[in-house]
Amino acid sequence: MEHRRLSPIKTLIETRSRDLGLSRQDIVQRAGYRNLAKGCRRLDELLTGDVHAARGLIDRLPTALDVPAEAVHEAVAETARQQREAEDAAYRAAFKPRGFIITEHTVPTSITMAAFVGADQSLWVDFEPGSTAITYLEQTLRAAKQRSPIPFFGNAIGVIINYSPDEALRFDMQGIPFEILPTAHQGETLSVSIRGQGCVVQNFRGYLFRAQCFKGVVAKDTPVGLGRNIWH
């Protein structure tokens, strides 16, 4: 049976909790949280290895656990490293060759509407079952010409073929290669969620945007932060 190892930050928190006889509520209270439910959510996120969402709690942990700040920072850094390794291993295990369509707009003309209609998915080309590598370029160029212009991204100006996690080539629309990429192109992911009245939030390139909607019409995309939860 495979045993999943505990993250360094979880080990530190649980060890100090036992040493000091602290409950979850005690920890977040000592960390200065007045809203204990919110503090416990951040603690749970940190215990699962989400060092980004729990950044505010991390800064207060030395006081809450009565340990040097260096001990917390080292545990967080090692947890983040382990998480990156696990994510990379999972990515490599699930990898499959794909094509990607390069367009005239690297940022969609309307991030919110592009996210709503899933326009970013039209940039990707899944190869036919049983295809060999020699056909990947032909399939991707054919899809690029058929789909162009892609809503909110514009005309296709080239393609990328991801042959492996560490091998990708960039081609122009005539199929002439002109760039070797050091790793597979992973593109950008657009995501949308509804929060509050008429408010849409989407993630693009690690940035969060808030879009105000009036009677179903998107008025504007406003950047509000880099990879942070503006509703916490």
Domains of the chain: which residue ranges? 8-93, 98-181, 191-226
DSSP conformation class of 35: S
Model confidence pLDDT, tens digit, residues 178-230: 999 999 998 877 766 555 554 554 555 555 555 555 444 444 444 444 444 33
Query: What is the CA angle 15-22-5, rounded to 5?
Result: 30
Q: At what angle do helices 69-94 and 55-65 cross, to 10 degrees?
A: 140
Among 81-85, 102-106, 114-118, 124-128, the least confident range: 114-118
Q: d(Cα 184, Cα 181) in Å, to the nearest integer?
A: 7
- In a 13 Å sphere around the CA of 184, the CA atoms on its Cβ side amount to 18
The CATH code for residues 8-93 is 1.10.260
Length of the chain: 232
Alpha helices in the chain (DSSP H): 8-20, 24-30, 36-47, 55-65, 69-94, 111-117, 136-147
Model confidence pLDDT, tens digit, residues 165-178: 999 999 999 999 99
pTM: 0.69
